Amino acid sequence: MGEVVLRLEGITKNFGALKANENVSLNLAKGEVIALLGENGAGKTTLMNILFGQYTADSGRVEVFGKTLQPGMPRAALDAGVGMVHQHFTLAHNLSVIENVILGTGSLWSWKLRNKQARQQLLELANRYHLKINPDAKVSTLSVGERQRVEIIKALFRQAKILILDEPTAVLTPQETEALFKTLKEATEQGLSVIFISHKLREVMIIAQKVAILRHGKIVATKETKETSANELAALMVGNPTSPPAVVKRKSGPVVMEFLNVSTETQHHSKGLKNVSMRLCSGEIVGLAGVSGNGQTSIANLFAGLITPSEGELYLDGKPIERWSPRQSVLRGIARIPEDRHHAGTVADFSLTENSIIERYRDQPFAHHGWVNWQAAASFTKELIKQYDVRCPGPNTRIRLLSGGNMQKLILGRVLQNNPRVILAHQPSRGLDIGAVHYVHKQLLEARQKGAAIILISEDLDEILQLSDIIYVSSEGRLSPAFQRGKVTPSQLGGWMSGASFAEQETMHAS
C-alpha cells in the first residue's frame, strides 16, 4: 500500500461513565479498503463522528494527509477530503441528480454557470468510475442502487480522497452490490481510500484488504483479510466463537393463513399490492425478499391488521376474515416483530415493563377489573429479561436507554412468550451485529419447530436464503412465483428484485 492518508491516534471519548472509545489508533493507506467491524455499541459510530468533527474526543487526534484536523469542526474534515455515504441516503427527492450534487457547494448567484461546469465534472466522474447516471433525472424516480451512485458521485464531486461507506450494501440487489464493488476496485486503483463499515462478513472478505475490529470501544485486532476468515472475525467481534444456528428439516403442517388475489392502495413509500396470492403453513418460514419500498410494508401491514384489501380475500384456518384490525390480529394469535423497533416496536420513554405488555395490557393476566396488574407485568418482564438475556439495569429502565440488540431481544420475548400461531418478522436483524443476528435466527427457528407459521421480510438475501423454506420476491407490488429452499440462487433472486424477471415473464405470457 502507499502513503498513510488518515491516522487516528489515541482516540478516547467518554459519555459519563461509558467509555465509547478507549485509546483507539488506526491508519488508512492510499488506495486501501479497510473494514471497520464491531458489535452494536462497540464504538464505530462514535469514532466516525469524531473523525467528522461532530464529536470532540477527550484525548487523541485525527490526522489527514499529514495535517491534524481541528476538533469539533465538520467543515475541516470535508475540506481535508473526507466524504461519507450514510446507510440512509441524504438526498432531496424532489431535486434532480445535478441539483443534489452541487447543493451546498457554492453561492446561489452563480447557479447557472456552476450548473454547466458541474454537469461536465459529474459526467467526467461518472465515466471515470463507471457510475452510470442521468444528471437530469429526479432522485425520486431512481432505484436504490442509482441513489447510492448519486451519493458516491456527490462525495467525489467534493473531491473526497477518503470515503467512508456505512452499511453500503444493506438495500442493494446482488447485481447492484457486484457493480458497487467493481466501482470501488477501480476507484481505489486510482488512489481513493475507503473505510467500509458492514455487518456482512462475506462481503468484507471480498472488498477489504484489512479489517479492524472494535469491541467495547477498543481495537482488539487488526487483520489482513487474506490471513483470516469470516469465522475468526465473528469470534473477535463478540469475544468467543459463534456460528449460525442449524436449520433442521421439518415437514410443513396445514395452511394457517392465506392471501388470495389481494390488492391494496399505495402506502406512503411502499407500493400497493397487485393481485397477490400467498400462503403460510404451520412450521414453515416463508421468506419475502425485495428492495425497500416494493410492497413488503403493505404485506406486513395486512398481517398486522393495519390495512385491509381493496380487492381479494384474507383467510385464517380456511375461513375468510370479515373483520380485521390490529386488535383482531393480536387476538387471533398473530405476533409482530415490526420493521422499525424504535418507532413502531416500542415507546421510547416507556419502561421495559410497559413495553413488554403494550399489546396485551387488556388481557389476562395483566388486566384486573379494568386496571393494569403491574405486579404480573413486572414478573412477566423479569422473566423476559432473564430468558432472552436482555442486558439492562432492570424492568423499570426506559427502553430508549437499551442498545438496538437488547431492544430487539425484548421485542422477541414479547412476541414468542405467548406461543403465537403466526409470526410477522419484518427486518428482524436489521442493524444488529453477528452475535445478535444468530440469536434472533435461533429464536425464529425454535418457534418454527414448535409449529408457528412465520413470514420473514428482509432485504438481506443471506438471511432469506439461510432461514426460508419458501421464498417469494416482491417488486413494484407484484409477487414472484414461490421458490423452494435450495432451488434458487442469489443471482436469480436479484433478477426478480430488479424487475427484469417480471418483464421476461410478462413477455413470455404475451407471446
Render pLDDT for 44-85 as a digit per residue (tens, 0 to 9). 888 988 998 889 999 999 999 999 999 888 889 989 999 888
Check whether residue 321 and residue 405 sit in a common domain: yes
State pLDDT tens for residues 399-428: 988 877 788 889 998 988 888 999 999 989
Query: 401: helix, coil or strand?
Result: helix
CATH number of the domain that residue 381 is part of:
3.40.50.300
Neighbours of 308 (CB within 10 A): 15
Single out the residue of 187, 179, 185 nearest to residue 143, CA to CA.
179
User: From start to end of 264-396, where are the E strands?
Assistant: 276-281, 284-289, 311-316, 319-320, 334-337, 367-368, 371-372
User: From start to end of 207-338, where are the E strands?
Assistant: 210-215, 218-224, 255-263, 276-281, 284-289, 311-316, 319-320, 334-337
* CB within 8 Å of 322: residues ≥ 6 apart: none
Check whether residue 213 and residue 262 sit in a common domain: no
Check whether residue 224 and residue 326 sit in a common domain: no
What is the tally of structural domains in the chain? 2
The answer to whether residue 374 sits within a structural domain is yes
Check whether residue 108 and residue 18 sit in a common domain: yes
Check whether residue 318 and residue 456 sit in a common domain: yes
The answer to whether residue 248 sits within a structural domain is no
Check whether residue 79 and residue 30 sit in a common domain: yes
pTM reported for the whole predicted model = 0.75
Check whether residue 346 and residue 480 sit in a common domain: yes
Q: Which domain holds residue 460?
A: 255-510
State pLDDT tens for residues 179-217: 889 989 988 998 999 999 888 888 899 999 999 999 989
- Cβ proximity of 213 and 232 under 8 Å: no
SS3 content of the chain, % helix, strand, coil (to 5): 35, 25, 40
The per-residue pLDDT for 131 is 79
User: Which of 238, 263, 295 represents a domain boundary (last residue)?
Assistant: 238
The per-residue pLDDT for 511 is 62
List the pLDDT tens digit at each of the 511 positions of the chain: 579 999 999 999 998 877 889 999 999 999 999 999 988 778 888 898 899 888 999 999 999 999 999 988 888 998 999 988 876 778 888 889 998 888 877 654 455 556 778 888 888 888 888 778 888 899 888 877 788 888 888 888 888 899 998 888 876 777 778 888 998 998 899 899 999 988 888 889 999 999 999 998 999 999 999 999 998 998 998 888 878 899 998 889 999 999 999 999 876 656 789 999 999 999 999 999 988 778 888 999 999 999 999 999 999 999 998 888 888 888 888 999 988 888 888 999 999 999 999 988 888 888 887 899 999 999 999 999 998 888 888 899 999 888 777 888 899 989 888 889 999 999 898 777 788 888 889 999 999 999 999 999 998 888 999 999 999 999 989 999 999 998 999 889 988 988 888 878 777 766 6
How far is Cα 361 from Cα 337, in angstroms, rounded to an integer? Answer: 18
The answer to whether residue 18 sits within a structural domain is yes
Check whether residue 178 and residue 51 sit in a common domain: yes
The answer to whether residue 243 sits within a structural domain is no
CA separation, residue 456 to residues 110, 130, 274, 296, 471 (Å): 51, 35, 20, 10, 9
The answer to whether residue 245 sits within a structural domain is no
The answer to whether residue 503 sits within a structural domain is yes
Single out the residue of 345, 310, 305 nearest to residue 426, CA to CA.
345
Query: 18: helix, coil or strand?
Result: strand
Check whether residue 111 and residue 189 sit in a common domain: yes
Check whether residue 212 and residue 270 sit in a common domain: no
How far is Cα 68 from Cα 275, in angstroms, rounded to an integer? Answer: 59
The answer to whether residue 244 sits within a structural domain is no
Q: Which single residue is written with the C-alpha cell 423454506?
A: 469
When the pLDDT of each residue in the chain is averaged and rounded to a whole number, the result is: 88
Tell me what percent of the residues of the chain surpass a pLDDT of 70.
96
- Cβ proximity of 370 and 379 under 8 Å: no
The answer to whether residue 249 sits within a structural domain is no
Single out the residue of 158, 3, 14 nearest to residue 77, CA to CA.
158
Check whether residue 179 and residue 302 sit in a common domain: no
How far is Cα 476 from Cα 473, in angstroms, rounded to an integer? Answer: 10
The per-residue pLDDT for 106 is 63
Distance in Å from the first CA to the final CA of the chain: 55
DSSP collapsed to 3 states, 195-210: EEECCCHHHHHHHCCE
The per-residue pLDDT for 114 is 64
Omega of the bond leading into 365 within 30 degrees of 0 (cis): yes
* CB within 8 Å of 79: residues ≥ 6 apart: none
Check whether residue 72 and residue 185 sit in a common domain: yes
Neighbours of 358 (CB within 10 A): 13
State pLDDT tens for residues 78-123: 899 998 887 677 888 888 999 888 887 765 445 555 677 888 888 8
